[in-house]
Structure 1
Amino acid sequence: MIADAELAPVRADDQLDWAALEAWLRAAIADLPPAPMQVGQFARGHANLTYLITFADRQLVLRRPPHGAIAPGAHDMGREYRVLAKLWQAWPRAPRAHALCEDESVIGARFVVQDYRAGGEVFFKARPASMEGLPHFGERITRALAEALADLHKVDYAAIGLADFGRPEGYLERQLAGWHDRWRRVASAQPVPGLEDLGERLARDVPRPLLATIVHNDFKLDNCQFRPGEPDRVVAVFDWDMATIGDPLVDVGIALDYWPLTHGNPALGLPPGDAFKRHYAAQMGIDVAAIAWYEAFAAWRSGIATQQMYHRFVSGQTSDARMQAVGRRVVEFAARGKAALDAA
């Protein structure tokens, strides 16, 4: 769900049963134009497969899990559908979900269909041309990200029918257990002792959450969309398959885990992650002094998620060469998490 420039023909490995899909969509979604279905693929993503489905002037996004074995609770299209079917009413940055297919015989997996947000800017390594020359660009983007995340965390999730969307009590402990289980399933792809050690340190000192909110669980710059030329407000946020109700500082830790990939890039000019923390804390009116644990947790789970992608490649579940390259980064995440805890 990114800018049109990121669309590409569907990769050979990611072809689906297009006739079966079109028949299902026409039965599930009212008033689709009679024009033939056209399909493109959003090429940037490494995990879920994301397609742009077009019927004349009607454009939709289809998301499904990657090929191969899926860890329990991962790539949950039902979860994404449930949150996006309701959240758009209270938080307009969320695309509206229109349909969920739980019949895996249609395209080989469950999938969700949602709005396509056209005409926006999604970026990560380079400043979009529409924002070249704007003053204080990095600071403005940082404030916009902090404001968007704080606004999400202020949503009254019970009022929009999501009171039972997650279980805040014991949330961090379940997260640790779930990600450790994922690691056990893919650890054989390559040994990373530092990641094991990091998980043990995290489990010994679990913080007590300050409050419970909707948690996106993958909040980062390139899951956010801006209007061309307008760096002061995030207008859409994508990729909700891990969303739940839990500790909002998990989202802050995840954003900070990605921050080193963008901070220091002269094309973006983002300030250090401390600026993001300060803006978020001011918006929420809470203390983020314990954030080091959440930064380390985010690095640990990023390392595990990266190992999952690498495992798909070495086990022959995908021929996407990008998955082979990401395997080298697992050690980096382990070191980043250790550094966060050591500095606390």
Structure 2
Amino acid sequence: MSSDIIPIRKGEELDLTKIEAFLRSRFHDLPDAPLTAEQFSFGRSNLTYQIKIGDWEAVLRRPPLGPVAPRAHDMKREFTILKELHPHYHQAPKPYALADEHVIGSPFIVMERKRGVVLEDKFPEGVEVTKELCRNISESIVDGLVALHAVDYTKTKLKDITKPEGFLKRQVEGWINRYERAKTDDVQEIEQLKKWMMSHIPVSPEPTVVHYDFKLNNVMFTHELNELIGVFDWEMTTVGDPLADLATSLTFWIEKNDSPLIKKDENQVPITSYDGFMTREEFMEAYSRKSGRDVSNMNFYLTFAFFKLGVISQQIYYRWKKGQTQDERFKGLNRYVNNLMQYAQETARKNMYS
């Protein structure tokens, strides 16, 4: 079994009979074999599965169990995004089919299953980890983000389902509102942080496609780790400020000497802290050089990005606390939320380029 595949978690099983009937109604050349499914271990939002019928394989994505936030986990929108982007950006999986809620009670997407290496918390066995390898992986991720931001979204239907004007202001207001709806514990100085963000919104550069979750465990490399071949989790994709996308990536780019506030596990060494990986500042400089965009005002974007990550974690913790999921990974997320909000406050107080 691949290290990214696990048996399906309790309570997150699929109705394979109904899914197989749906698949056979859409694909008429499937092998004469039963449908099997396993779950991807990565991801904390939508539920993602590997499905197989004989030698045919695909990926199935569906929303999480229980009530979900308004307009979140929109399978139809994600399907449209993949359909429009894949011809221009082949790292996006090719979508095969979209099912509405009548099949298994919730909508789901069936898409291409890419094969390669996802770097979650360690390198695969047998890989010689060198500074050169780590530097090349860093460059590949920067290149992948720059290439996505170079896609001409006006040649796709994304122009019809997005609204880039006023993107950043809507984002700040929207994520503040999401936090209020999912709030459970009190966080010190959160009101000051919200006011600071609302009063420091910069003028955005020209809009681009924004993935909004472009991080190490959402991308796939060849087995040789020399090429980025897949980018996953497109549910938050839109058209807007590319620097907000860059900052979101950087919130997951942990350095060796970073504050413990943004480290989820004190006992775990993040891959991006290995010798040879770019620092966040080097990542920004490389992005600026390759994209031609000014990154001198990243202090705001990083503050907002850490706040946003805190809100996403809070939403997941809220679902756990309300009994909407039994996944024990989420039990202590409230402490991580508090740490992220503290770090966002610290980031707001300083200017990285002063």
**Is TM more than 0.5 here?**
yes
Q: Distance in 1 between matches of 2:213 and 2:279?
A: 19
Answer yes or no: is the 8 Å Cα contact 2:137–2:225 preserved in 1: no
Which is worse superposed, 28-37 or 326-335? 28-37
Shift of 1:127: 2.3
Answer yes or no: is the 8 Å Cα contact 2:254–2:270 preserved in 1: no
Secondary structure in structure 1 of the residue aligned to 2:49: strand
Residues 264-275 of structure 1 mapped to structure 2, 5 A cutoff: 265=269, 268-269=274-275, 270-275=277-282
Equivalent of 1:114 in 92, 111, 115: 111
1:224 aligns with 2:219: yes
Equivalent of 1:315 in 322, 336, 350: 322
TM-score calculated relative to the size of structure 2: 0.90
Structure 2: which 5+ residue stretches go unaligned?
Answer: 259-268
Distance 1:133 1:219, change over 3 A: closer
Distance 1:262 1:160, change over 3 A: farther
Partner of 1:241: 235
Partner of 1:20: 18
Structure 1: which 5+ residue stretches go unaligned?
Answer: none
Which is worse superposed, 29-38 or 332-341? 29-38
Shift of 1:257: 0.8
Partner of 2:88: 90
Which is worse superposed, 252-261 or 208-217? 252-261
Residues 291-330 of structure 1 mapped to structure 2, 5 A cutoff: 291-330=298-337
Distance 1:303 1:27, change over 3 A: same
AA at the equivalent of 2:154: A
Q: Distance in 2 between matches of 1:335 and 1:153?
A: 30
1:164 aligns with 2:171: no
Partner of 1:277: 284
- Segments ≥4 residues shifted beyond 4 Å: 261-264
Partner of 1:183: 179
TM-score calculated relative to the size of structure 1: 0.93
Secondary structure in structure 1 of the residue aligned to 2:122: coil
Partner of 2:134: 138
1:332 aligns with 2:334: no
Equivalent of 1:46 in 44, 54, 72: 44
Partner of 1:99: 97
1:9 aligns with 2:16: no
Q: Distance in 2 between matches of 1:131 and 1:337?
A: 35
1:251 aligns with 2:245: yes
Partner of 2:261: none
AA at the equivalent of 1:96: K
Which is worse superposed, 257-266 or 22-31? 257-266
Q: Distance in 1 between matches of 2:123 and 2:185?
A: 35
Secondary structure in structure 1 of the residue aligned to 2:24: helix
Residues paired across the two proteins, number: 338
AA at the equivalent of 2:138: T
Distance 1:65 1:317, change over 3 A: same
